[in-house]
Structure 1
Amino acid sequence: MSDASVTTQEITVVKDGHGLLFLGDPKEIKAWLDDRGLASREFATKALRAGGSAVQTAAKVSSESGRWVKLTKDSAKLLEKYGKAGAIQPGVVQKSNGQIVKWLRFENPSQLFSPAMATGVAGMMTQMALEQAIQEITDYLKSIDEKVGDLLQDQKDQIVADLIGVVFEVDEAAAIRDKTGTLSDAAWSKLAPCAQTTSRALGYALTKLQVISDKLSRAESVDKIEHVLSTAKDDVPAWLVMVSRAVQTRDKLSVIELERAYAELPEVLEEHRLGIVEARRERLGKVKVRIDALREVLELSADRVREEKLLHPFAVDSVLAILDSLMEQTSQFSKGLDIEMDEKVIERAPEWLDVAGKIAGDVASGAANGAQQLGGAIADGAGALGEAAGKGAADLGAAVADGVQGLGKAIGNVDLKKAAESLPFKLPFGK
């Protein structure tokens, strides 16, 4: 590739636990990433000026900006292809038009930037990850039924009302920050109580979901499970929305907090960043535990319900449909919040005729086995019967006569045809 018409564009890559930062010509980077189907976000230049320093080593690139890519299975494949884990590894990639792009990967930003700049870049990368998470939750909330949002609005709980108020406050503050580039002390002071409110709302919503899980766990029959689901089918999606809103709002607060820290308190930026990352990890960990528990209960409830298909065919189908819908909603929720969860599917009950046929077969088999056992018992007891007859034939005859008369009266009061027709299966014998 010594042709003078082919220029080499150097791209520097910084990796952390959440994403990849590509420094260089943003247009070149975007085109290259687009070719590989990787979505990216523009990286703001102010992070590269953190601490009042200009870009040093990074000044080799054509621009003080670039693109950020979320670390996923697809983007990780780039590292596997062009980089080697555990060390700085240069790689060479070629664009579709033949242009060579040099890839330089640095695991530690401090090897590329001064300490102050490395801290600023790390903070900005965390902010980019948060903004990506915020957008994904926004997309999730847009994708679900609008009625769910209305259900949350209709909740009379004060904590729900408080969260809705905080959402407005934080969005307004973010709008001011975007327009002015900063946030005044007065505006920041208004946001101070918001973190506690979002935490309280998150805990409240998770508790409500736990209550529903407990009720389903205690419901042992299809009618009791159906009763719990009569309200849970609306409450579960409403509380999932509240959890999403609480997590999203807390992420927005964290973004504002990070910007304020590296603008006014750069010396504590790294502490803020690490604290925010760890707090979010613990927050999502609590959400995962509670949603996993709910999904497990949904699955167990479905298993119990399917056993009652013969006697309650319509109720079982209705309940399984609701359980399946709730399971699907928790799957959408987990994807929207980027929480990994095991795949769970609510299996439908077999057809009623299949269930009835199996039971009829079991009844027939049981009847045959019972007949054999009865025949053996009669044969074994023949001698004993003869001996008993010899000792008290008169008493035995009287008892049998009374028993036959009583049995005849009982049978005479029963419409055997209707009884047979009402059975959920045909009897395995004739009239």
Structure 2
Amino acid sequence: MGVVQAKGQGGGIKAIVQFSSGNASKLANPALLAGAAGIMAQVAMQQTMDEITDYLAAIDEKVDDILRAQKDAVLADMLGVDFVIEEALTVRGEVGRVSEVTWSKVQATSGTIGRTQAYALRQLEALAEKLEGKTAVGDLAKATKDAETKVREWLAVLARCFQLQDALNILELDRVLEAAPEDLDQHRLGLKTARRHRTEHIARTTGRLMVRLDAAAGTANSKVLLKPAASRSVVKSSNEAAAGIAEFQELLGIGAGREALEARLWREAAVDVKDRVVVAGADGVDAAKRISAEGVDAAKRLRTETMGKAKAASEKVASRLAQQSSRWRREAE
């Protein structure tokens, strides 16, 4: 028997309690502890799934419509995977466990999810490749407009892949607990490592695309005097696409933050040129050549500064991933 006393001097008795040691050994049972860790992992996955559902609703993207619009067989198969996993989760909720029959229906879906994720990442890499090496503002305007339209669609597909993989992992942990509870803890750690690898791959791909978008905006700003409308279009589209990437990265916990770039005004560029003419204090071909050279140098400096900022943002993402990986390894140990 024991008492619970109020805090502070002279505190009165608040309750009388009884301590029992009969089940104490169960609390230290490795199998029970492993089961608890597995349940906590499932809760964390379910939370991420709910957050992704909110994300898809917030960006007003119906990923099923996107998948249906695609003719590629890899994406078409995802519709079937979605149905099978949702059905298995419903049965699990009613029965309270994942039977062998239920698991047999979903265990092969991981391959389809992986192929679809790889396909979506390749589409994002292709958008980055279209931006690479382009210096003509007209070409950049077309490429960034294309990216603005497609980036959110492929990010929505990626988000759905991540959501379905977490759902499958929840079912898998339940099945291991049912069939081989002694392996549950190691299996949980294995799933955690695989999830980290998926997240890192996504971070690298989306980070490279963001660097290209920022570089395109910097190039456009440096040429606003010659192509004002196209330059503003490049900056606007780059900001829209990059904002979508930053939001998606934040959802997965890999975001480093990003400030939107401002489109340089034509008037500002014209004033800069005028000021250089006045400072030069001379007319003629030689002065014009010097001003032209200065303009080229300024454009190069602006592009270099933009690339530097973009690289710093990418390195920040990599640093954050490294810190997360270190923390995950410590938790696993």
Which of the pair is proportionally richer in strand?
A: 1
CA distance in structure 2 between the aligned counterparts of 1:226 and 1:150, rounded to whole angstroms? 27
- Counterpart of 2:195 in structure 1: which amino acid? R
CA distance in structure 2 between the aligned counterparts of 1:57 and 1:220, rounded to whole angstroms? 71
Higher RCO structure (Cα 8 Å, ≥6 apart):
2
Deviations 1:372-406 (A, max 9, x none): 99xxxxxxxxxxxxxxxxxxxxxxxxxxxxxxxxx
Whether the 8 Å contact between 1:262 and 1:269 is mirrored in structure 2 is yes
| Structure 1 partner of 2:262 | 348
Deviations 1:299-331 (A, max 9, x none): 111111101111111111122111111111111
CA distance in structure 1 between the aligned counterparts of 2:175 and 2:142, rounded to whole angstroms? 50
**Count, aligned residues:** 276
1:218 is paired with a residue of what secondary structure?
A: coil
| Structure 1 partner of 2:210 | 295
Query: How far did 1:369 drift?
Result: 7.3
Whether the 8 Å contact between 1:302 and 1:346 is mirrored in structure 2 is no
2:28 is paired with a residue of what secondary structure?
A: coil
- Counterpart of 1:222 in structure 2: which amino acid? V
Whether the 8 Å contact between 1:56 and 1:113 is mirrored in structure 2 is no
Which of the pair is proportionally richer in helix?
A: 2
Identity level (%): 32
| Structure 2 partner of 1:56 | 23
Deviations 1:7-48 (A, max 9, x none): 599xxxxxxxxxxxxxxxxxxxxxxxxxxxxxxxxxxxxxxx
Partner of residue 53 from structure 2, selected from 138, 144, 149 = 138
CA distance in structure 1 between the aligned counterparts of 2:225 and 2:82, rounded to whole angstroms? 49
Whether the 8 Å contact between 2:224 and 2:266 is mirrored in structure 1 is yes
Query: How far did 1:6 drift?
Result: 4.1
- Counterpart of 1:341 in structure 2: which amino acid? G
| Structure 1 partner of 2:123 | 208
Deviations 1:71-95 (A, max 9, x none): xxxxxxxxxxxxxxxxxxxxxxxxx
Matches within 5 A, 1:302-321: 302-321=217-236
Partner of residue 243 from structure 1, selected from 139, 158, 164 = 158
| Structure 2 partner of 1:358 | 272
Whether the 8 Å contact between 1:131 and 1:252 is mirrored in structure 2 is yes
Whether the 8 Å contact between 1:209 and 1:239 is mirrored in structure 2 is yes
Instruction: Give unmatched runs, 5+ long, in structure 2.
Output: 1-6, 288-333
| Structure 1 partner of 2:11 | 3
- Counterpart of 1:313 in structure 2: which amino acid? P
CA distance in structure 2 between the aligned counterparts of 1:198 and 1:137, rounded to whole angstroms? 16
Give the CA RMSD over aligned residues.
2.6
Change (3 A) 1:219 1:160: same
Normalised by the length of structure 2, the TM-score is: 0.76
Whether the 8 Å contact between 2:64 and 2:79 is mirrored in structure 1 is no
